[in-house]
Amino acid sequence: MKIREALENGNVSYRDFYSALQDADIGAWDDINSTDIIHDYLNDMIQQGVRVSHIVEALENNDSEYDDWCIWLGNSMETPNPINSKQDLIDALQLDEEDLNMDIKFKN
C-alpha cells in the first residue's frame, strides 16, 4: 500500500500508520517525541537551569490525542506542536510528494 493510500484509508489506524512509517524509517523521526520523552527532557533542562517554560505551557494548553508531539529536542527554544492525526504525522515527518508515493508494509 502506498503511504498516500494509507493516509486516506479510514481502516488504517494512527498507531498502525505510525508504526509502519517508523519501521520503514521514512521521515524526520528526530522531530517526533512522546509526552513522556518531552517530560524527561524538561526535567533535564530544568536541572541545568535552561528556560523551558514555553514547552511546559504548550504541553499544558494543547491536547495530543496520541501523546505524540512535533519538536526537535536538540533546541530548547522550539515549541511542541501536538500530533492529532495521520496528516499531522505526515507534516511533522516532513514527507513530500515522492515520499507519499512510496510503498509501506503493515504488520499483521
* Ranges of each domain in the chain: 3-100
Condensed to tens digits (0 to 9), the pLDDT of residues 58-93 reads 999 999 999 999 999 988 889 999 999 999 999 999
Question: How does pLDDT run across 2-48, given as a tens digit for each residue?
Answer: 999 999 999 999 999 999 999 999 999 999 999 999 999 999 999 99
Q: What tens digit of pLDDT does each residue of 94-108 get?
A: 999 999 999 999 986
C-alpha cell recorded at residue 35: 509526552
pLDDT computed for residue 54 by the predictor: 95
Q: What is the mean pLDDT of the chain?
A: 96
Per-residue pLDDT, 4: 97
